[in-house]
């Protein structure tokens, strides 16, 4: 690369500030404690995850775990001052 870069004082045009979306180093190093469970899944679901895992060079169990974690993150609500009976009744529905 022998060509020199020439800088000018020209207007750059429209720009947009993008919010910081990268996780902090602490978030990258954080690891949830794992719990082993036994679960029966449909053959169709397992084949789906295995196929997509192979395409993305990852483990299908990891994909399933990340899907479940994303579901929990989307629907998890902070605890309220409700009694535990109310929570149990709603969970039983």
Strand, coil or helix: 36: coil
Look at residue 51 and tell me if it is in a domain.
yes
* Phi, psi angles (nearest 5°) of residue 9: -100, 35
Residue 80 has pLDDT above 70, yes or no: no
Q: Is residue 5 part of a domain?
A: no
Q: Is 85 domain-assigned?
A: no
Token digits for 82? Answer: 């409700």
Which pLDDT score is estimated for 79?
60
- Count of domains for the chain: 1
Say if 90 falls within a structural domain: no
Task: Tell me the pLDDT tens digit for each residue of 7-19.
Answer: 888 887 888 888 8
Alpha carbon distances (Å) from 24 to 29, 32, 40: 9, 16, 36
CB atoms within 10 A of CB 53: 16
Structure tokens of 85?
């009976």
Structural domain range at position 50: 41-75
With respect to residue 82, please indicate whether it lies within any of the assigned structural domains: no
Q: At residue 86, does pLDDT exceed 50?
A: no
pLDDT given at position 83: 46
pLDDT in tens, 37-76: 999 999 999 999 999 999 999 999 999 999 998 898 888 8
68 belongs to a structural domain: yes
**49 within some domain:** yes
């Amino acid at each position: 690369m022998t060509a020199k870069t020439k800088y000018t004082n020209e207007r750059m045009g429209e720009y947009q500030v993008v919010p910081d979306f990268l996780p902090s180093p602490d978030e990258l190093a954080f690891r949830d404690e794992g719990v082993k469970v036994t679960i029966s899944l449909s053959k169709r679901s397992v084949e789906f995850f295995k196929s997509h895992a192979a395409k993305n060079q990852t483990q299908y169990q990891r994909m399933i775990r990340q899907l479940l974690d994303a579901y929990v993150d989307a629907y998890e609500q902070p605890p309220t001052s409700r009694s535990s009976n109310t929570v149990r009744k709603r969970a039983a529905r």
